[in-house]
Structure 1
Amino acid sequence: MAGSEEDWREALRAKGYRLTPQRELVLAAVEKLSHATPEDVLAEVRRSSSAINLSTVYRNLEFLEELGLVRHAHLGDRGSTYHSTSGREHFHIVCRKCQRVSSVDPEVAAPLAERLRESYDFEADLGHLTVFGECTSCEERPDHDHEHE
């Protein structure tokens, strides 16, 4: 990880940017939390610094995404969820019942990507793909959603 960290620091310097302490805190929070909303990132950053507010987190997430250090995905009604690009490329599956998010290797969707390329002359961005459904453990449980209505 130290080598890749130095790589992106060097890439930032080459583009004339620097990783400010605020940006570093936001990036570290995203990396620690794995999949996090801006509010999740703010809560994590606030453990180290109370000088950062939500608008600062949003600005830094946008900046870090422009640089390719983080990505966002839409994992349901939570809004954008951010994850670091330092890990392996992946797409997401989300259970509509228990809200569990799982990362899936893009090779699983390779046949779909190939079909889109051949049939539609379309290059899919699998990193933004989210597939919603129901996990097996939820399928096995009786549905109790109506008890709370």
Structure 2
Amino acid sequence: MKAAAGDHDSPFAGDRPTDWSQALRAAGLRVTRQRLAVIDAVIQKPHGTIEDILDEVRPHLPRITIQSVYFVMNSLVAAGIVRKLELPDSPARYEVEDHDNHHHAVCRYCGRIEDVACVTGEAPCLRPEAHVDMTIEVAEVIFTAVCHECATTQQARI
């Protein structure tokens, strides 16, 4: 089961693991070359799509299939090692789950994604006014933005 942000019972709460083999075992997963390669690819391509991750893994594991990457990624998300981002009008994207309660800013022109720290601390940092009959664990905030490069380009077009 995926740990919620701020869940201190998770083996991944706090600092990012430096030994991914140990992190996989702690999550109850076998250590495989595919899992280690996908984790490394997610670190190298934060906010990458499955296709980005596949492109990063293929030089090391040339015979890996996109189905295998999906399978590995689903197991890493379920274990709380990787976080799946579901942004509007975008394929799913992935990043290492740091349990740091951050959000994302997305440039409306080029699609660049940047992490944005939550200013109120513990998850969830937002609570709905009309309380639902549920315990809110995470609040996802997506800021629509314009990156500096696109702002400069857009200014030049005017």
Return the TM-score normalized by structure 2: 0.71
- What's the counterpart of residue 22 of structure 1? 34
Note the 1:1-149 alignment, pairs <5 A.
3=18, 5=20, 7-12=22-27, 15=28, 17-86=29-98, 88-107=100-119, 113-114=125-126, 116-117=127-128, 119-121=129-131, 123=136, 125-126=138-139, 128-135=140-147, 138-139=150-151, 141-142=154-155, 144=157
Aligned counterparts of 1:22 and 1:76: Cα–Cα separation in 2: 29
Q: CA separation of 1:38/1:130 partners in 2, compared to 1, >3 Å: closer, same or farther?
A: same
5+ unaligned residues in a row in structure 2: which ranges? Answer: 1-15
Indicate conservation of the 8 Å contact 1:74/1:130, yes or no: no
Deviates more, 1:43-52 or 1:67-76: 67-76
Amino acid at match of 1:120: A
- Residue deviations 1:34-62 (CA, integer Å, cap 9, x gap): 11100000000011111101111111111
Aligned counterparts of 1:44 and 1:136: Cα–Cα separation in 2: 27
Identity %: 26
Following superposition, the deviation at residue 28 of structure 1 comes to 1.1
| Aligned residue-pair number | 138
Determine which structure has more spread, i.e. the larger CA radius of gyration.
Answer: 1
5+ unaligned residues in a row in structure 1: which ranges? Answer: 145-149
Indicate conservation of the 8 Å contact 2:118/2:125, yes or no: no
Following superposition, the deviation at residue 143 of structure 1 comes to 7.7
Q: CA separation of 1:76/1:86 partners in 2, compared to 1, >3 Å: closer, same or farther?
A: same
- What's the counterpart of residue 10 of structure 2? none
Structure that is richer in helix per residue:
1
Amino acid at match of 1:96: R
